[in-house]
């Protein structure tokens, strides 16, 4: 299944937002947590390698979905124990400090 990725630039910061394509337009809620997979993530269809190449240059990342979160975990950008699960859907973020 495809990954959708959108890249945002603001000054020196680069944010990569990516999600599993089939999650676009859906909202997940659990234990007072909520994540809306909105147009914020709706960018280009990319492969895992393309995603990781962009994340490697990013200062921040926001990821939703099994395939996407697994990719950035395999790439070493997110630790498995830092993944937050909301209604069965993984969500992860990272910031370069």
User: Looking at residue 37, which CATH number applies to its domain?
Assistant: 3.30.1860.10
Kindly indicate the confidence band of residue 7, based on its pLDDT and cuts at 50, 70 and 90: very high
Q: Quote the percentage of the chain above a pLDDT of 90.
A: 97
11-49 burial: b if 16+ Cβ within 10 Å, else e: eeebbbbbbbbebbeeebeeeeeebebeeebebeebeee
User: Quick one: how many helices (H) and strands (E) in the chain?
Assistant: 2, 8
- Total-model pTM: 0.94
Domain count, the chain: 1
The domain of 11 spans 3-95
Quick: pLDDT tens for 52-72.
999 999 999 999 999 999 999
């Amino acid at each position: 299944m495809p990954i959708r990725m959108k890249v945002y630039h603001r000054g020196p910061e680069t944010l990569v937002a990516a999600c599993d394509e089939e999650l676009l337009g859906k909202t997940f809620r659990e234990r007072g947590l909520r994540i809306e997979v909105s147009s914020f993530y709706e960018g280009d269809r990319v492969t895992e390698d393309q995603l990781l190449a962009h994340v490697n240059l990013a200062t921040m990342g926001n990821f939703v979905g099994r395939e996407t979160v697994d990719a950035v975990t395999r790439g070493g950008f997110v630790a498995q124990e830092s993944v937050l699960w909301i209604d069965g859907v993984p969500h992860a973020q990272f910031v370069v400090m």
